[in-house]
Amino acid sequence: MADRLVVEQLHKRFDDIVAVDGVDLRIEPGEILGFLGPNGAGKSTTMRSILGLVAYDSGSITLDGEPIGPTSRRSIGYMPQERGLYMRMKVHEHIAYIGRLAGLDSATANDRANRWVERVGLVERRDDLIQELSTGNQQRVQLAVSLVHEPSLLVLDEPFAGLDPVAVATLSDVMVEQMESGVSVIFSSHQLELVQDLTDRVTIIAAGRTRVTGTVTDLRNSSPDRNLEIVWQGEAPHWQPPDIAPLPDSPAGVSRFVVPSATNSADLIASASQAGSIASIRYEPPSLDQVFLEVVGQ
Amino acid sequence: MIWEVAKREITIRSRTKSYRIITAFILLLAIAGPIAVKLWPGSDDARELAIGVVQDENFSADFEATAPLVFGNDYDLDIVPVEQSEVDELLAQDAFEVAVEPGPTLVWKSSAEPEVGLLIGASLQQSALVGRAGEQGMTPTELGELLAPIDLGERFVEDQGETSDIVITMAFIGLLMAFAMPQVFGQLAMMSVIEEKASRVIEVLLSHIRPRTLLAGKVVGISLLSVAQMVLVCGGMLASLLLTTDVDIPNSAYLFLPVLVICLLLGLVLYITLFSLVGSLISRQEDAAQVMMPVFLPIMGGYFVGTNAAFGNASSLLARILTYVPFTAPMLLPVRVARDAVSTPMMLVSLAGMALTVVLLIRLAGRAYEFTLLRTGSRIGWGELVQLLRSS
């Protein structure tokens, strides 16, 4: 399938600060891509470059195979990291206004705004001022604003920040719906469990550069480490794999280790079962959190 | 898209309590002003004047008939018949302001009023003429024909112009508006830009429209909002004036009005654009005072020189220069045109200069907007802005 968005070797410098130093990413139609990186890694600058809000120094960005420009950018929906809303506008009025700016005629913008007000659960707040809404509800409006013109690419910068579990669930549902209807969704987040649940693939950047990209499963499996957790029946015996110390935060009766992926797991289990009685055992690739920390070098 | 942005500005700003309250307040003043002047005690043009007249067969009856004709509409006369013995006492009690005794003699309380004295004298003269004419067998009609006023014409060697008090009053009201409205609505535009930058809604907007479209929409919307307020207030004042007074509007006022309106509109657009640009240089309202100062200076200068031109020297060197400076011309030009101190060709030069500056400023501000709108954090200096524009 042809890529919807391709970013290649993007570079951007603000005076003496190198914000982006070679970011590559791509996303297919109907895919959710997690765009990860520590604070200051260049995620927002990359997203703002895609939106044309930052003039990048070099590199290329193509949308549906064509160099991105003002016209093609109209098919992008954007949700900035901070609430980008007019506080003194009403909910429906705001969504319809952005729809008209995105090129919809008045009637269509109103219809779509009605639909999105309903979809994000704000029917009763339809004519309330934005400033009267909670943070979570404002984020729902922000989501509706980014989707009112039915974009083919959705760019969400930290969309889950500050949301309660109900709002997180609504936002996650909408993202999956959009993906299923063929929309490409790229989003950044520090809530890696959510990323792991929602995304097909992730791209991790650090210090302005793309470090790894791939499916969550592939990234986890490609790690040189494995997590080993043994729950003993009774007190944990003084057992450990050769040359590997247990992790310091293991609770009583539980031994946790990070072992090289090349280790023979059957040998380990056999050795452990000779040391004590095992209640349960888990041997698995590291979590996305661990992969992330490993990749960004922390 | 420009109209969409403009519509939003109009809708949101006109919805605010401050705009509604200020507009209602100014409208109330505009309507109530002429009414209050009309109702104010003593504001009526006709002055009430009581004249005591000692009854005498030689003049009192004729005086009562001729005095109202001589005093005319400027006086509301009350002729009080009195006895000679009562004159001094009633004058002391302010029962009337002057008395006419047989002689005839005018009796004042302590000081004389020359104009009233002259008018009473003329009335007595008229009475005497009627009496004498009757003695000569002349009828009052014949006397009227004899004394019919001549039709006195006028001509001027030099063109006196058509300046009138009404035109100068219009120019001064225009000066006040050209001084106040750009500040009020310019700051409204500036606050709107700062709000968009601070809330980051600017990022959402600019992902759909270009910065210059946003600027143009903002300028159009806020200008229309200010024009609506201007029309409402001026319409209210005019209606109130027409209903309460007998204003005779000269043709020169109708000729002057387009000049005034064009100057006001160009001034508004110019300053709203300038304030919007200034607003894009900062990200916090706290920094607004610093960046606004250079914009206030020409407004203040134009106002003070304009006031002097309205009521003092309309052709001072400073007034002449500032008439052709586009940032002060909206205040100076109408006043000097009203004072007949600018020739038509030079008026057109000044108007063209303003219009050209507005066009150039909108283009320049549109370009600057592209650099400044997405810049947050510290204030962007004018020098840095010039560098950015040059490098682009």
CA distance B360 to chain A (A): 24
B246 in the same domain as B324? yes
Mean pLDDT of A123-152: 90
Nearest Cβ partner for B200 among A80, A97, A102? A80
Mean pLDDT of A188-197: 87
A164 in the same domain as A58? yes
Res B53: pLDDT:
87
CATH code for the domain of A85: 3.40.50.300
**CB-CB neighbors (< 8 A) of A87 in chain B:** 195, 199
CB contact under 8 Å between A88 and B15, yes or no, is: yes
B347 in the same domain as B199? yes
A228 in the same domain as A215? no
Domain end, chosen from B116, B146, B176, is at: B146
**B28: in domain:** no
Q: Is A228 helix (H, G, I), strand (E, B) or coil?
A: strand
As for how many domains chain B has, the answer is 2
pLDDT above 70 coverage of chain B, percent: 91
Which of B203, B376, B391, B392 to mutate to probe the A interface, most A CBs <10 Å?
B203
B261 in the same domain as B141? no
CB contact under 8 Å between B1 and A101, yes or no, is: yes
Task: Say how far apart CA A167 and CA A173 lie, in whole Å.
Answer: 10
CB contact under 8 Å between B8 and A70, yes or no, is: no
A201 in the same domain as A245? no
B312 in the same domain as B285? yes
CB contact under 8 Å between A84 and B8, yes or no, is: no
CB contact under 8 Å between A86 and B12, yes or no, is: yes
CA distance B287 to chain A (A): 21
Task: Say how far apart CA A92 and CA A96 lie, in whole Å.
Answer: 6
A113 in the same domain as A49? yes
**B262: in domain:** yes
A166 in the same domain as A33? yes
A233 in the same domain as A181? no
Identify the bridge partners of residue A280 per DSSP, sorted by sequence position. Answer: A231
Angle in degrees, 0-180, between the axes of helices B288-311 and B329-338, rounded to the nearest 10? 10
**B91: in domain:** yes
Q: In 10 A of CB B41, how many CB atoms?
A: 5
Range of the domain at A162: 5-219
CA distances from B343 to B248, B315, B329 (A): 26, 12, 15
Read off the DSSP letter of residue A129. Answer: B
B374 in the same domain as B232? yes
- What is the identity of the amino acid at B38? K
Mean pLDDT of B76-85: 86
A73 in the same domain as A173? yes
**Highest mean pLDDT of the ranges A128-132, B76-80, B370-374:** A128-132
Res A130: pLDDT:
92
Res B392: pLDDT:
63
Mean pLDDT of B86-103: 87
B171 in the same domain as B262? yes
Residue bearing the bigger pLDDT, A188 or A250? A188
Residue B171's nearest CA partner among B272, B34, B308 is B308
**B1: in domain:** no
Res B157: pLDDT:
61
Structure tokens at B219: 């300028």
B294 in the same domain as B180? yes
CB contact under 8 Å between B202 and A84, yes or no, is: yes
Mean pLDDT of B324-341: 89
B104 upstream amide cis, omega within 30 of 0: yes
Domain end, chosen from A159, A184, A219, is at: A219
A207 in the same domain as A232? no
Range of the domain at B225: 163-391
Domain end, chosen from A219, A244, A279, is at: A219
Q: Is A53 on the interface with B (CB under 8 A)?
A: yes
pLDDT(B162) > 50: no
Residue B5's nearest CA partner among A152, A173, A14, A102 is A102
How do residues A7-38 score in pLDDT, each as one tens digit? 999 999 888 888 889 999 999 999 999 999 98
User: Which range has the worst mean pLDDT, A214-228, A280-294, B162-176?
Assistant: B162-176
Q: Is A202 on the interface with B (CB under 8 A)?
A: no
**CB-CB neighbors (< 8 A) of A14 in chain B:** none
Identify the bridge partners of residue A210 per DSSP, sorted by sequence position. Answer: A205
**C-alpha torsion angle, residues B130, B136, B141, B143 (rounded to 10):** -60
**B90: in domain:** yes
Task: Say how far apart CA A160 and CA A153 lie, in whole Å.
Answer: 18
Q: Which of residues 102-141 of A touch B (CB under 8 A)?
A: 102-103
Strand-strand pairing, A17-27 and A32-36: unpaired
pLDDT(B241) > 80: no
How do residues A68-110 score in pLDDT, each as one tens digit? 888 888 889 998 877 789 988 999 999 999 999 988 999 999 9
Mean pLDDT of A126-143: 89
pLDDT(A240) > 90: no
**CB-CB neighbors (< 8 A) of B195 in chain A:** 86-87
**B32: in domain:** no
B254 in the same domain as B128? no
Structure tokens at B326: 């586009």
How do residues B24-51 score in pLDDT, each as one tens digit? 888 888 788 777 766 766 555 678 888 8
> Which chain B residue is nearest to residue A149, measuring alpha carbons?
B208
Which of A47, A101, A110, A131 to mutate to probe the B interface, most B CBs <10 Å?
A101
A279 in the same domain as A164? no
B269 in the same domain as B184? yes
Task: Say how far apart CA A274 and CA A265 lie, in whole Å.
Answer: 14
How do residues B167-210 score in pLDDT, each as one tens digit? 888 888 888 888 988 888 898 888 888 888 887 788 888 888 88
B79 in the same domain as B175? no
pLDDT(A262) > 70: yes
> Which chain B residue is nearest to residue A142, measuring alpha carbons?
B204
pLDDT(B352) > 90: yes
Q: Is A63 on the interface with B (CB under 8 A)?
A: no
Domain end, chosen from A171, A201, A219, is at: A219
A207 in the same domain as A186? yes
CB contact under 8 Å between B202 and A87, yes or no, is: no
CB contact under 8 Å between A54 and B374, yes or no, is: yes
Residue bearing the bigger pLDDT, A81 or B248? A81
B172 in the same domain as B82? no
Domain end, chosen from B112, B146, B180, is at: B146
Identify the bridge partners of residue A278 per DSSP, sorted by sequence position. Answer: A232
Mean pLDDT of B304-315: 85
**B253: in domain:** yes
Task: Say how far apart CA B160 and CA B390 lie, in whole Å.
Answer: 51
As for how many domains chain A has, the answer is 2
pLDDT(B369) > 70: yes
Q: Please report which helix (H) or strand (E) contains residue A76, including its range.
A: strand A76-79
Structure tokens at A87: 């506080």
Domain end, chosen from B86, B117, B146, is at: B146
B315 in the same domain as B197? yes
Mean pLDDT of B62-68: 80
A258 in the same domain as A143? no
Chain A / chain B CB contacts < 8 angstroms: 65
Res A82: pLDDT:
77
Task: Write the DSSP string, A90-127.
Answer: BHHHHHHHHHHHTT--HHHHHHHHHHHHHHTT-GGGTT
User: Which range has the worst mean pLDDT, A189-203, B33-47, B79-93?
Assistant: B33-47
Q: Please report which helix (H) or strand (E) contains residue A227, including its range.
A: strand A225-232
**B8: in domain:** no
**CB-CB neighbors (< 8 A) of B12 in chain A:** 86, 88-89
CATH code for the domain of B69: 3.40.190.10
**CB-CB neighbors (< 8 A) of B199 in chain A:** 82-87
A239 in the same domain as A198? no
Q: Is A15 on the interface with B (CB under 8 A)?
A: no
User: Which range has the worst mean pLDDT, A227-231, B102-106, B242-246, B284-288?
Assistant: B242-246
